[in-house]
Amino acid sequence: MSLRALPLLLAATLGCASVPIAPPEVRPPPAPPPMPRVALVLGGGAARGFAHIGVIRVLEQEKIPIDLVVGSSVGSLIGALYAQKRDVFDLEWTAFALTRDDLIDTGVMNAFLGMGLAKGERLEKFVESKLKVKTIEALQVPFAAVATDLNWGTRVVIDHGSVSKAVHASSAIPGLFEPVAHLGKILVDGGLVDNIPISVARERGADLVVAVDISEQVGNANITNLVDVLLQSANIMFAVNAERSKQGADVLITPDVGGVAMLDFTQKKRSMQAGMDAARAAVPRIRAAIADWQAKRAVPGS
């Protein structure tokens, strides 16, 4: 190489060295897939409702979201207690301490002079004592209770106002509890018209509905008194209308609580375990329903 060409080569080399090297392109991580709004719908069935707690425990353990709770009858009681702060352990402690006398205030005079064996005031006070907030609007999870208009036989959805009054009205089994004056209506148990109120969850924007049916196996060969007659009559009504409504669930959970009487508070542990077992069996179906919903949203135009 000639001395004359050396400066030109050196300049070219320095010029190339001064050109900045572009950093590798850094792409942001893909956005997580959208999650559906999941509603938990809890059906009626009196003492069988302890199974609802087992279901909720598994859903929490599996980190399956609960964005809305809708309950009828005992489903409204369990649902409201959970909706307060999403704490299933607190709910379990409350349930284990719960007795029949905490909820039912039967009296001879009320049976003769009233419109039910129990006034229901004890049930209402129990709910008030367990909730730090008093209104449905203040609950951590959106909540609705379903009751029945005794005069007109129509469904009444209670999603505002007093939590304890809503639960009382939704749980007022005719004959056992006096009807409840609320919202300008005379209300009784929601299970009469909609024991698994899936349509209510849909109306409130649920994308997926996980429903819990505890009305199965209505047979009862041990009916010996008026209370047994009233409860078995309600049980039959609950089961009949549940058969119609439960078809609308994306995932239906049916704990094995057959044989648990409507007011048998001695079967709490068994009922909770039945709820846990049924929920665990349903988890793959719930995850599949969520994945299917997400896959459909990933397709343009869906």
Q: Would you say how long the chain is, in residues?
A: 302
Q: Distance between CA 10 and CA 294 in Å, rounded?
A: 60
Q: Distance between CA 125 and CA 226 in Å, rounded?
A: 25
Phi, psi of 161 (to 5 degrees): 85, -160
Q: Which of 72, 73, 170, 245 is catalytic?
A: 73
| Core vs surface per residue 28-48: b (16+ CB within 10 A) or e | eeeeeeeebbbbbbbbbbbbb
Quote the radius of gyration of the chain (alpha carbons, Å): 28
Q: Which of 72, 170, 171, 189 is catalytic?
A: 189
Annotated active-site residue 189? The verdict is: yes
Amino acid at 5: A
In the DSSP assignment, the letter for residue 174 is B
Residues 6+ apart with CB under 8 A from 70: 39, 40, 41, 42, 79, 143, 144, 145, 146, 197, 198, 200, 201, 204
Are 139 and 133 in contact by the 8 Å Cβ rule? The answer is yes
Helix (H, G, I), strand (E, B) or coil at 275: helix
Annotated active-site residue 129? The verdict is: no
First to last CA, the chain: 69
Q: Which of 267, 260, 103 is nearest to 172 (CA)?
A: 103
Cite the active site residues.
73, 189
